[in-house]
A and B are shown apart, each in its own frame.
Chain A
Amino acid sequence: MVRTSVCIHPGSRAFFVIKHYEKQRTRDYFYASLIIALAPFIRYIGLALVALFLGYTIYFIFAFRVNKRSSVVKYLLLSTISFLPIGLYLLRNYRDTGTLTGERLPANLTIFGNLNSVLEVFVQDINLYFRILFLISVIFYVIILFNKNRIGNTKNIFPSSFILILFFLYTCFILYTTTQAKVDPIGTRYFAPLYPLLLIFTFIGLETILSSELPELVGFSNIRLFRIGILSLICISLLANIIGFNAWLDNISKNRFVPVSHTEAGFNLSPTSLNLNKYFHRILELQDQIHVVVSMDFQLPYDKYFGPDMFYRESILRSYSTNRFAFGDIQVYDDYWGTIRDFSLSMQIDGDPKLIKYHNTPRIRNDLQLALYLIEITEEYNADNITLIVHNENLVFIGDDVLLPTIDEHFDLVSLESIDPYHVYELTISK
């Protein structure tokens, strides 16, 4: 067997936690500590990693009998790099808001409900063949763990244990968070960052099985057959992933060209989004201040939490011509979180200050309600005329003589033009 010694990159020198465990060099511990400090600054759940690292430090001090007082102090000091920055940041949050990670509504799910969601995520996300492989890895991990003396090669126990404990801690943190506060429901999003580690654990386990006499040791007489079985499962698992990938890509491809679904696969190719973007450019060129009032009964089809305000805000955000932004009163939470979505956006276009004020309104269910609401708006803002952007989806049907006669009772129709060939019309009316 030939071991790798020629590398074009520092691959063989690149394992800080693992390398520190193997070589006990302070330098590796320092690097690991530095990188782990970044994790909770990206997502608060990264605190699980910090907690594990502190656990590792204590384990290391005891397991390797770091007796010298200077060494113990050195490790304890270095470990502060991992938790001190986030600790100070959380204290600052507490000073400002009275909470460590922001105010949130109480959760409406029990720990058992959340635990069930966790299991559902694993069943949905991980294909059957990989689950079997993972299970085999876990079984052999336990066998090696309890037979360390009989089995010589135990160098893979540490990384496997590290991953398993991180997985456990991470899941516990998520269960705690989702049981305490109202956050996004448990789903793929929470666990997907761990999937590379899950694959690494399985890989290490399978590699140990395939390259040793371990299966024979636990009673598999035909090792060759056992290995063929494992390799077949690996190939089938890859195939299942590729099939899933293909279906996923197909779904994106289909959604991308549905006119209203502008963000499932991206913004650039969606006709609705592009047209609305042009529309905003045009009205911003003509006016210094506009009020965007959205009260449509449409929900974009792919995401139940994605409301119309996001649609408009996104159209504004992607504007190339607006070269300076300043947001005021940003509130991105919706009713699900218990707050309102109104926001204002000030910017400059070629040096001219512009202001967009976004107002969320109650849902309007029929044309009469819409007409009455238009009267209310024109009185509130003292506007002589008003421009409607009508999404021709669930509520209003231009050309079907449903909206226009109702509006005509109260307003004069100034112009009607199509912004988007599919769904969006501009309708200017005056009192």
Chain B
Amino acid sequence: MKLLRDKNFISRSLILTGSIILLFSLSVDTFKGGGQPASFGFRQVIGMVLGFLLVCCGTIFFLRNSDSSLRERIQTHKTSLAVFMAVALGLSWLLYIYNAGIRFSPDSVAYQSFALKMHHIADFDTGATWPPLYPILIHIVMYIQRFPAGAAAIISGLSMIGVLTIFALILCKYSNDVALIIVFIASLFFWDKFLYIYTPAWSEPPFAFILVLALFL
């Protein structure tokens, strides 16, 4: 009870827990279920991000209880903090989707076929049914990664970074509460139904990015 009355108990606990998860994730694939073969540790990355998040939250709580100059300092850098977190989460997604591989659907195969045509025989016609910009994007990224599925995975990851970053910037415009902003960024990233459109080679991820960008950037 004495501990609980300590103002900095929560912040210290958060920092300690976060540090343990962070360090543990760096060495072991912390959250992996048993019985599965070894793979790229997305959960390891998530464990690291979660650990980092807890350390950040703990630090913020600590600073809230500190003197006013520190509080002002964290308010001053709230946008940088939020953007840093958004980019970190987006990067973790880029690493995951690029390494684990993107999913295919009938639409994906059509988009990739058009991208291949664009890339190798400079035929940019996608017919009336398919809008051309997504295959063009794949075609452009194919100059970096010549395999179209890899290019689509890079687009998915970059779109995620873009959406989360613009999202963070928008939240920062309307609030000074760093903790609330971070919770909302995490809410978006951990929303499985939102992530669902980022797993196959679909045009939805860049579309989501354009939607947010057009309105708010």
Contact = CB atoms under 8 A, between A and B. Distances in A.
A193 B188 contact: no
A427 to B, nearest CB: 27
A4 B42 CA distance: 34
Interface stretch (B3-11, B58-66, B207-215): B207-215
A184 B193 CA distance: 17
Contacts of B213: 35
Contact of B116 (A102, A249, A327): A327
Best-buried of B103, B112, B180, B193 by chain A (most CB within 10 Å): B193
| Secondary structure call for the A interface | helix
A166 B215 contact: yes
A320 to B, nearest CB: 7
A171 B143 CA distance: 37
A75 interface: no
A87 to B, nearest CB: 14
A173 interface: no
B190 A15 contact: no
A259 interface: no
A286 to B, nearest CB: 24
A206 B170 CA distance: 14
Interface in B5-44: 31, 33, 36-37, 39, 42-43
B130 to A, nearest CB: 8
Contacts of A248: 192, 195-196
B197 A332 contact: no
Interface in A266-319: 266-269, 303, 305-307, 310, 313-314, 317-318
A92 B157 CA distance: 33
B33 to A, nearest CB: 6
B201 to A, nearest CB: 10
Interface string B168-187: 01111111110010011011
A203 B171 contact: yes
A102 B129 contact: yes
Contact of A4 (B131, B134, B172, B183): B172
B165 to A, nearest CB: 9
Best-buried of B83, B106, B117, B180 by chain A (most CB within 10 Å): B106
B92 interface: no
B46 to A, nearest CB: 8
A375 interface: no
A218 interface: no
Nearest to A205: B174
A5 B183 CA distance: 23
A303 B104 CA distance: 10
Contacts of A391: none
A11 B216 CA distance: 10
Contact of B191 (A104, A195, A203): A195
A188 B112 CA distance: 22
Nearest to B168: A11
Best-buried of A17, A200, A305, A327 by chain B (most CB within 10 Å): A200
Interface string A126-159: 1000100000000000000000000000001001
Contacts of A44: 131
A163 to B, nearest CB: 8
A12 interface: yes
A192 B204 contact: yes
Interface stretch (A65-73, A239-247, A403-411, A418-426): A239-247
Contact of A43 (B147, B169, B196, B207): B207
A207 B173 CA distance: 11
A306 B106 contact: yes
B109 A313 contact: yes
B194 to A, nearest CB: 5
Interface string B66-91: 00000010011111100100000000
B176 A17 contact: no
A238 B194 contact: no
B144 interface: no
B120 A325 contact: yes
B212 to A, nearest CB: 5
B100 A266 contact: yes
29 contacts: A4-B176, A6-B76, A8-B79, A14-B166, A14-B217, A15-B173, A42-B134, A49-B211, A53-B214, A125-B193, A194-B208, A194-B211, A196-B194, A207-B177, A234-B184, A237-B187, A238-B190, A241-B190, A241-B192, A263-B104, A266-B101, A266-B102, A310-B104, A310-B109, A314-B109, A317-B113, A320-B147, A325-B116, A330-B113
Interface of B: 31, 33, 36-37, 39, 42-43, 72, 75-80, 83, 97, 99-107, 109-110, 112-113, 116-117, 120-121, 127-134, 147-149, 163, 166-167, 169-177, 180, 183-184, 186-188, 190-197, 199, 202-204, 206-208, 210-217
Nearest first, the 4 closest Cβ-Cβ pairs linking A and B are A266-B101, A102-B129, A193-B208, A102-B128
Given A38-B133, A49-B214, A102-B127, 5 more contacts: A15-B173, A97-B127, A163-B215, A196-B194, A246-B31
